A and B are shown apart, each in its own frame.
Chain A
Amino acid sequence: MKHTIAILVEDLPGVMARVAGLFTRRGFNINSIAVGHSETPGISRMTIIVNGDEKVLEQVMKQLNKLVDVVRVRDIPAENIIERELVLVRVHVDSLAVRSEIIQLVEIFKAKVVFVERNTMTIEMSGDEEKINGFLNLLKPFGIKEIVRTGTIAINKNSKNGLK
């Protein structure tokens, strides 16, 4: 089962290691982890995507809660999730025909060309994981040179279950 966990942490050195360490110890592979400032100064928000057993996850969340630097932990349920990821992808472009084909895809996916060279195009796109994977799959035949993904960030649709 895929789980999206939102965590508020105090912005202190070592906090990433404390949080990540708990997942590793219980045999969880972190699929992605994204960190940034939250609405409160001194508090950062982490979004962690993991796959794993329900019961083990409950234990990891309880252990996370015990960390002094962790202010709050929530599992965002699939039915209430809004998730986004940002990707930068550089594709190989060897002809005019290819270029226009890619531009078409960019338009369909509401992506954006951010940089162009003679033989490459760099495209920015955001969306949920499924959309991003779909887009990248369509680009694959042209020759992808580089992919940079931020990892998923997520918010709960239900504002009462926010992480205040």
Chain B
Amino acid sequence: MKLTGTEIIVECLKQEKAKVLFGIPGAAIMPLYDTFGKYEEIPFKNILCRHEQGAIHAADGYARATGEVGVCIATSGPGATNLITGLANAHMDSVPLVAITGQVPTEMVGNDAFQEVDITGITLPITKHNYIARKIEELPLIIKEAFYIAKTGRPGPVLIDLPKDIQLSKCNFNYPERANRRGYNPSYKGHLKQIKSAAIKIMNARKPIIVAGGGVIKSKASAELIKIVSKTNIPVVNTFMGLSSFPKNHPLFLGMLGMYGQYTANQSVSNADLILALGTRFDDRITGNLSKFCPQAEVIHIDIDPAEIGKNIYAKIPIVGDLKNVLQQLNNYLEEKEPVEWLNEIKGFKEKDPMYKENDNFLLNSRFIMESINELFRGEAIIVTDVGQHQMWAAHYTQVNFPRHFISSGGLGAMGFGFPAAIGAKIGCPNKPVVCITGDGGFQMNIQELATAIYNRLSIIVILMNNGYLGMVRQLQELFCDKRYVSTELAGNPDFVKVVEGYGGTGYRVGKREELIPILHEAHSKNEFVLIDCHIPQEENIFPLVKPDSSINQMIGVD
């Protein structure tokens, strides 16, 4: 039977088991939406967002929370360009997405037609791969490949540009069983000889440390990592993207590494003699000044992407492969071990670490808010954050014990990500509590998605960390620009509770410590969308931190 291009898309999405699409229609993608309308029941949820950036961040949050491919749809021209931040964000954080954009009819492509942009050209450097469909017969294979490429190897976003005439023309439909590209063969198995040498190095090291990155989550290797740690008693630090790959309540967890990392983590890594780096790309926010990063440590670097090995840090033992496989194999060659002296040395770092000191402030400060969230959810909630000071507070203080329970924009640091991503996470995991920790600046970058969340009755708890500032930048101005607060005061902020009420949702305003916990409980028991506007001290800072260009063991804010 002959199907139209858009019917083919619906069939392919069904075969790929896509459960949700996030998007906004427009002229060039109308045929696809019209096809949805012709089905008595389309085999997936179709979520109308209020901005394409909201749609793609939601698809991204969905993908991060579930481990499945997120799908979003936009029309040509402005719809497509509104996806760009979301694509770059997913590209940098290796999130599997398929973005489908409408395009002007093939014969008009290249003519500067109404709402035409060269979206495949524009997105070349921010997608794992992209396509423009030129013939209807190619469409099934393109979709098959797009999903395959998005989710295999090092995951990433794939864009498919669909001219309107291709959507409307017809051909016989056959979904290919497999995608097979000569130039695309990720290596999953690590090199055995390398794995054995790594095991010897690990057994001989006096001061070994594991740096667990986002790759551990993507490869679903947390259980393997925990096994190795139980056997060898090697302490673990997380990169920002690695948060949730290892339980924070594990006694050998030392916190987050990097520029906004924790003192113990930074000191331990700086003093280690062996770094076992798992699925991390040694981003500059992790290493600080590269030339001063761990001069005496040897590095075993395991990653599925060979281009990440040796890019920033020399790896004595490089291993290309899927972490789950490699760690399983590696574990076979490891023996029990307990680096007692090293663990004692680390205890000394903890004594100076502000993280392990009491919260002696009686204001409604960031740490109190995070700890209240922990008390209520005990590490069971999916925490989704935006970008700013609140993001780093959440990274430090929220209790996260399971993979995919901490979602945040790492590589791109894109304000506006958190709220729509929480929408995607809640749709992907309806039975889990979802808490969105956001700032008064970033929340306003996709505030229009209140409609999406409230209309779809998503019981997300938004914790708005309202400090009246673009706090992260204000702090830098305080520290490095003699407090010249240029363009960081958010004068003109709305009454957020009223805004939420305007959309038909519930909002609370909290200004004092003692108000928070009862309201949190009430919010949780309501089982519907709730925003809690927390008025926190305006000039609270995130400490400790590493000055740009300093070495990571030199932290400001540790006495």
Contacts and interface: CB of A to CB of B under 8 A. Distances in A.
The answer to whether A and B assemble together is yes
Interface of A: 9-10, 13-14, 17-18, 21, 25, 43, 58-59, 62-63, 65-72
A59 B124 contact: no
Contacts of B120: 14
Interface stretch (B100-108, B179-187, B371-379, B509-517): B179-187
A72 B184 CA distance: 10
B206 interface: no
A122 to B, nearest CB: 35
B129 to A, nearest CB: 5
Interface in B127-149: 128-129, 132, 134, 149
Given A59-B307, A59-B311, A63-B307, A68 B124 contact: no
A68 B183 contact: yes
A58 B125 CA distance: 18
Interface in B102-130: 120-121, 124-125, 128-129
Contacts of B411: none
A25 B126 CA distance: 12
A60 to B, nearest CB: 9
Contacts of B121: 14, 17
A71 B129 CA distance: 14
A66 B305 contact: yes
Contact of A10 (B128, B149, B183, B307): B183
A18 B121 CA distance: 9
B247 interface: no
A62 B183 contact: no
A25 B125 CA distance: 9
What are the 8 tightest A-B residue pairs by CB atom distance, in nearest-first order? A62-B307, A71-B183, A68-B129, A71-B182, A68-B184, A70-B183, A68-B183, A63-B307
Contacts of B181: 10, 68
B306 A65 contact: yes
B310 interface: yes
Contacts of A17: 121, 124
Given A66-B305, A68-B183, A21 B310 contact: no
A18 B183 contact: no
Given A58-B310, A62-B307, A66-B307, 19 more contacts: A13-B132, A14-B120, A14-B121, A14-B124, A17-B121, A21-B124, A25-B125, A43-B182, A59-B311, A62-B306, A65-B306, A66-B305, A67-B129, A67-B183, A68-B129, A68-B149, A68-B184, A69-B183, A70-B183
B125 A21 contact: yes
Interface in B154-200: 181-184
A152 B149 CA distance: 34
Contacts of B184: 68
B318 to A, nearest CB: 12
A38 to B, nearest CB: 12
Nearest to B128: A68
Nearest to B306: A62
A155 B210 CA distance: 44
A68 B152 CA distance: 12
Contacts of B311: 59, 62
A32 B125 CA distance: 22
A18 B125 CA distance: 8
Contacts of A13: 132, 134
Given A62-B306, A65-B307, A18 B124 contact: yes
A159 to B, nearest CB: 21
A14 B305 CA distance: 23
A68 to B, nearest CB: 5
10 contacts: A9-B183, A14-B120, A14-B124, A17-B121, A18-B124, A21-B124, A43-B182, A59-B311, A65-B306, A69-B183
Nearest to B130: A14
A33 to B, nearest CB: 17
Contacts of B128: 68
Contacts of A43: 182
A116 B183 CA distance: 47
Interface in B283-323: 305-307, 310-311
Contacts of A66: 305, 307
A10 B182 contact: yes
Nearest to A25: B125
B552 to A, nearest CB: 22
Contacts of A63: 307
Most buried by A among B120, B124, B132, B310: B124
A13 B124 CA distance: 13
Contacts of B125: 21, 25
A43 B183 CA distance: 11
Contacts of A10: 181-183
A11 B128 CA distance: 18
Contacts of A59: 307, 311
A69 to B, nearest CB: 6
A111 to B, nearest CB: 39
Contacts of A72: 183
Nearest to A43: B182
Nearest to A69: B183
Nearest to A18: B124
Of the candidates B128, B305, B306, B307, the one having the most CB atoms from chain A within 10 angstroms of its own CB is B307
Contacts of B134: 13
B87 to A, nearest CB: 15
A28 B307 CA distance: 17
A70 B129 CA distance: 12
A57 to B, nearest CB: 12
A17 B307 CA distance: 20
A64 B181 CA distance: 15
A59 B311 CA distance: 7
Nearest to A9: B183
Contacts of B149: 68
A19 to B, nearest CB: 11
Interface hub of A58, A68, A71 (most chain B Cβ within 10 A): A68
Nearest to B149: A68
B26 to A, nearest CB: 24
B12 to A, nearest CB: 18
A14 to B, nearest CB: 7
A80 B149 CA distance: 36
Interface in B78-103: none
Interface string B498-528: 0000000000000000000000000000000
A17 B124 CA distance: 9
Nearest to A72: B183
A108 B278 CA distance: 61
A85 B540 CA distance: 65
